[in-house]
Chain A
Amino acid sequence: MNKFLKITALSLALLLASAAPSLAESPRFRYGLQWGYSAKAATSLEYTFFNSYGTRISDGQPLTLDYYTNAFVSADLGIEFLDYLAFTLKAGYRGVAKDYRIMPLELQFTLFPMRYDQTGIFLFGSGGFALYNWSMEDTINLMSAGIGLRRNLSRKISLDGFLRGNLITCSPLPEDQYEGTIPRDRTVYSRAQHISIDLGLALYF
């Protein structure tokens, strides 16, 4: 019985070992650049502050269609593994709203249903935070999801085109029509949400 078990175990191990190379090639590191057009589609905001006379002012607007044109660029470093998956770290620069440009740092998870070394579609989602004016005071968070098309130009170079939706939440300094930008120490609460749609290209090496 023992001998039988040993033979079975050995056969199974051999089977798995022979199957393994076709199931999972060794992971490969990729680096690249991503850029594109970003259209802010909707915004909601809510804020409360004390003006210079000590009066408490509250205002806001619910989620409203509000178009503004923007762009984005990022440098990416990623790892593709198990033939179908990838993790990418992205550091970039993007516009969010009028006069509001941020430096996001995001982690993206990508699924390539047709393998990342074949031409085909891919799905991705990402999340992260961002700096505004080199500071984290605005507590900016980003979440996005999208779909793309990968075209492998050679064994090492890929060209991706993608469409992505973003939700960006931040705590910007409120703007008052009489006093201009309210400083942080007089701001009680400020929260803005922006929904934008990106159309972009990426080159990975």
Chain B
Amino acid sequence: MLLSCAEASAQRRIERAGVINSPKGFGLSVGIAQSDRRIYNTVNLTADMEGILDGTETTPGIKFSWLHENILRRGVIRDDVSYCFFVSGGFTTGYVKDHGAANRNHGAILGLAAGTGVVFMFSERIDIALGFTGEFGMQLRKDETFGTLDLSWYENGVIKAPIPQITLYYRF
């Protein structure tokens, strides 16, 4: 039963790459295994979908996040499928549109990210991760009416935290 959780890879290496699918955004994700098997790092680059799916905005935002995952529990279920539960913390940055008036400008964000989820590992070199990520940060943007620089809480990071994301990975 040679699945990534059971393999003893002793050094840090890029273990998997995949596609993030979520109503929040679509993007790419890379998983970096660490020498300590209880820790995992994930780097995500996503196109933020605020306003896109309900047609009020045509330009997606861009978001980069780095998450440091602590694996709480590993297990095996039938058919040689193994799983890991994890909690993660990290940071996020990007240029996105926040929740609010439809004509709001995009703005730069910086904040802390936290998440939780489960990764299912299949023998076909496919991993499927189901997770939730919340972000707590600030946004700096140009006011659409007065042209001044506004600094505000990045509300979408908290409002959209309960929206799930499914990431399909290919394991190298």
Closest to B21 in A: A35
- Measured CB to CB, the closest approach of chain B to A30, in angstroms, equals 15
* Docked pose: A119 CA to B124 CA in angstroms: 10
Residues of A within 8 A of B21 (CB): 35, 201
B-chain residues with CB within 8 Å of residue A91 when the two chains form the complex: none
Task: Determine if B168 is an interface residue (Cβ-Cβ < 8 Å).
Answer: yes
A203 located at the interface, meaning its Cβ lies under 8 Å from any Cβ of chain B in the complex: yes
* B159 adjacent to chain A (CB < 8 Å): no
A93 nearest CB neighbor, chain B only:
B53
Q: Please tell me if the beta carbons of B168 and A159 are within 8 angstroms of each other in the complex.
A: yes
Residue A152 interfacial (CB < 8 Å): yes
Contact of B55 with A151 in the complex, beta carbons under 8 Å: no
- B119 shortest CB reach to chain A, Å: 13
How far is the CB of A205 from the nearest CB of chain B, in Å?
11
**CB < 8 Å neighbour of B80 from A98, A119, A154, A201:** A154
Q: Is the interface of B mostly helix, strand, loop or mixed?
A: loop
CA gap between A193 and B137 in the complex, in Å: 45
Interface check A99, CB cutoff 8 A:
yes
Task: Report the count of interface residues on A (CB-CB < 8 A).
Answer: 17
Please give, as numbers and ranges, the residues of chain B lying within 8 Å of A71 by CB-CB distance: 53
Which residues of chain B have C-beta atoms less than 8 A from A98's C-beta? Answer: 55
Contact of A152 with B124 in the complex, beta carbons under 8 Å: yes
A residues near B126, Cβ cutoff 8 Å: 151, 153, 159
The interface residues of chain B lying within 8 Å CB-to-CB of A155 are 79
B128 touches A203 (CB 8 A): yes
A59 to B80, CA, bound (A): 61
Contact B168 A153 (CB under 8 A): no
Q: Which residues of A contact B78 (CB under 8 A)?
A: 154, 156
In the complex, whether B71 has a CB less than 8 A from a CB of chain A is no
Contacting residues of chain B (116-160) with chain A, CB-CB under 8 angstroms? 122-124, 126, 128
Note all chain B residues with C-beta closer than 8 A to A35.
Answer: 21
Contact code string A142-174 (vs B, CB < 8 Å = 1, else 0): 000000000111111101000000000000000
Most buried by A among B55, B126, B128, B166: B55
The answer to whether residues A157 and B55 also contact, given A201-B21, A201-B168, A203-B128 and a CB cut-off of 8 A, is no
Q: How far is A121 from B73 in the complex, measured between Cα atoms in Å?
A: 36
Known contacts A159-B168, A201-B21; A154 and B123 CB within 8 A of each other: yes
Please tell me if B43 contacts chain A, counting CB pairs below 8 Å. Answer: no
Cβ-closest chain A residue relative to B26:
A37
Closest B residue, CB atoms, query A119:
B124
CB of B5 closer than 8 Å to a CB of A: no
Tell me whether B87 is interfacial, beta carbon within 8 Å.
Answer: no
| Alpha-carbon distance between A156 and B78 when the two chains are bound, in angstroms | 10
- CB-defined contacts of A203 to chain B, threshold 8 Å: 128, 166
- Identify which of A95, A99, A101, A153 contacts B124 (C-beta below 8 A): A153
CA gap between A71 and B54 in the complex, in Å? 11
Q: A95-B53, A119-B124, A201-B168 are in contact. List 4 more A-B contacts (CB 8 A).
A: A154-B81, A154-B123, A157-B81, A159-B168
Q: Residues of B with Cβ closer than 8 Å to A?
A: 21, 53, 55, 78-81, 122-124, 126, 128, 166, 168
Closest 6 interchain pairs by CB? A154-B79, A153-B122, A155-B79, A99-B55, A153-B124, A154-B81
